[in-house]
């Protein structure tokens, strides 16, 4: 009688069992992918230049993006212009870890670009938002 119950649940050829196993494997792969995403470090912030220096600040940050794009752990480094404020520039970064982000500041040329940006900022730069990556397209 037990054999008949198994045949009703899984079919004679075990097709349904294979389907169930594939679903379990797919779910495990999805959970592993989500764990990889959840460990990413995201930093999002705005820098504001003194009047008339927005383009120069943008240029400096675009150069920085080229330098750090090859740094270990850099997944994303986006420089965006604020459409409501010509002197403000937004930077969005995703790294494998905070440590990788911190180490990117040691990439050759980065400190020189920081030194160029500081004098044209409108005040002290504020700490960016540190966010937890939950997922989405491109990650």
Strands 74-81 and 41-48: unpaired
- Whether residues 56 and 92 share a domain: the answer is yes
pLDDT tens readout for residues 38-51: 678 999 999 999 99
pTM of the model: 0.70
pLDDT at 96 over 80: yes
- Whether residues 85 and 97 share a domain: the answer is yes
- Whether residues 124 and 58 share a domain: the answer is yes
Euclidean distance between CA atoms 111 and 26, whole angstroms: 45
- Whether residues 93 and 123 share a domain: the answer is yes
- Number of structural domains in the chain: 2
Angle, CA of 116, 119 and 124, to the nearest 5°: 115
Q: Is residue 80 part of a domain?
A: yes
* Model confidence band, residue 57 (pLDDT cutoffs 50, 70, 90): very high
pLDDT at 28 over 50: no
Residue 108 belongs to domain spanning: 40-132
pLDDT for residue 127: 80
Give me the DSSP letters along 87-110: TEEEEEEEES-HHHHHHHTTSTTH
> Which of the residue ranges 3-12, 16-25, 110-119 has the most confident prediction, judged by mean pLDDT?
110-119
- Whether residues 88 and 113 share a domain: the answer is yes
């Amino acid at each position: 009688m037990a054999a008949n119950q198994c045949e009703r649940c899984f079919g004679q050829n075990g097709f349904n069992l294979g389907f169930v196993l594939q679903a379990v494997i797919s779910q495990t792969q999805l959970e592993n992918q989500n764990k990889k995403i959840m460990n990413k470090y995201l930093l999002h912030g705005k820098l504001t230049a003194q009047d008339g220096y927005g383009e120069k600040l943008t240029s400096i940050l675009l150069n920085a993006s080229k330098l750090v794009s090859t740094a270990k752990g850099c997944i994303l480094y986006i420089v965006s212009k604020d459409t409501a404020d010509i002197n403000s520039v937004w930077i969005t970064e995703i790294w494998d870890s905070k440590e990788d982000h911190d180490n990117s500041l040691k990439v050759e040329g980065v400190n020189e670009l920081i030194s160029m940006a500081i004098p044209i900022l409108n005040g002290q730069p504020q700490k960016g938002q540190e966010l937890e990556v939950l997922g989405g397209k491109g990650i």
